[in-house]
Each structure stands twice: as structure tokens, then as C-alpha cells.
Amino acid sequence: MRLKDRVALITGASRGIGREIALTFAREGAKLVLVAKTMEPHPKLPGTLPEVAREAEELGAEVLVCQCDVRDEEAIGLTVRSALNRFGKIDILINNAGALWWRPVLETPTKRFDLIMSINVRASFILSREVLPSMIENGWGHIVNMSPKVDLEKLPGFTGYFISKFGMTMLAQGLAGEVKDKNVAANALWPVTAIDTAAVRNYGVGSEEMWRKPSILSDATLELVCKPPSEMTGQALTDEEVLKSVGVTDFSKYAVVEGTEPPPIDWIQEKVRS
């Protein structure tokens, strides 16, 4: 019960990585604020907030479900206030909700650019700002943004998307410096390989032997938020780096297809560009 009495707010919690983090945290005793838009089943996207809430409750977690479009600042404010009214604090924020658009600039309409910016970086900024007073007041907090290390070589062909994702990483690194004396950590976390999610499947990116299970990210996230906030902050980390820091060297259990070793995530860009 490594997260006993901790309160974690997780966005994009209705499926995929968000769901896996929620269930991992539930097993470790956390109280959960589950945030997403999906309340009713979608024909192409499995998973709803009520379903994840039931799974977490079966694991013993106390759960608050908040339907929220993270593009809506007022909805974010209501969500944070509801969490504070219910649990009295927020210890952990996982900015996991995200929008994909793997296209070059000439194929990126302004409407699509605004969408990925509003969901990826803008929502993460607002959520971080809104939960910080609680973390600072209690002298403890972790903010984790699901975003990669800033690498300008990744930009071509994915420019709009990586502007938004690098923005999330810069948010974590800048914020870490602002609250380093408040015992609040802010870090970015990203997978080394492609992760088996609905988005990856819908985009038709490779096949199952090229993917890892979402549990590698949930396990890495758990290890990250279990560290003292002053121990690691302002970093852009990979799932493997975090797990190796606690002695994990065998990642075979995370392969979707047993006995395979998924390639680095960079191959996605080469595939899409070609």
C-alpha cells in the first residue's frame, strides 16, 4: 500500500494508459479522481469512466468520477474543486489525456493544431496550476506529464504534435524550478516503445509484436510518484529509465507478444513518414 491515503487525479482515465495507472494506484491504496469524457460505451473505443471506477473500487479504492472535457477551463476548475471537496487535497496529478496528429505542417489544419495544443499542453498547464495550491499547502506533490524528452530531430513530419508534446515537457521542467523549495516534483515520462492502446491500433501502427503493454508505463509512473518529491524533479524520463532505477532490468513481461522485443518508438515516425 505504497500510496495509502494519497489522492491522485488522472486524466484520460477511461481507457489505455490512464486506466492502467488508475488500477495500479488503486492496488497501492490511493484515492482516485478519474477524469475523462467517456461515460457511455463508444463503438470504436472500448472503456468508460464508470467501468474503470468499478474496477478500481473492486480493488478497494475510493473513487470520484469526473466527466470533463479538458479543453474547458471551467470544467477543469469544477473537477479540481470537486476533488478537494471530496478528499480535502490532491497529492498526485497525472496529465495523461492526449490528442494525436502525426502529420506534417501542410497537412495540419488550424482546427487540428488548436485541438492538439488545447488537449496536450494547455490542459496540462491549467490542471497543474489548479492543483498546485493544494500540493504546496500540504508540502508534498507529484505532477507527471506524459511527454517525451525535447529532441528537435523528432519534429519533421510531426511538427504540430511535437510542439504540443514538447510543451508538456517544458511545462514540467519549468514548473519544477518554480516549486523546487515546496517539496513538489514535476517530471515528464515517455515510453521507449509503442504502447498497446486504442490510438496505436486505430492508427494501424505496426503489429502486436511491436508493442508493449500499458502496464510498463503504469509501473514506471508508480515508481516515480513513490520517490520523495525532492529526489527527482524537472526530468524528462523514459519508462525503462525509471524502472531501471529501482532494479528492473527484464522487460519481457511487458511485451504484448511473449518472446518478442519491441523496437524503439522512433520506428513509428519512420513508418508514418514513409
Catalytic residues: 161
The SS3 of residue 237 is: strand
Distance between CA atoms of residues 264 and 15, nearest Å: 23
Helix (H) or strand (E) holding 33: strand 31-36
Residue with cell 492496488: 27
Task: Tell me the backbone φ, ψ of residue 149, rounded to 5 degrees.
Answer: -60, 145
Nearest to 53 by CA among 21, 22, 80: 22
Task: Write out the three cell numbers for 161.
Answer: 504534435
Amino acid at 146: M
Amino acid at 212: R
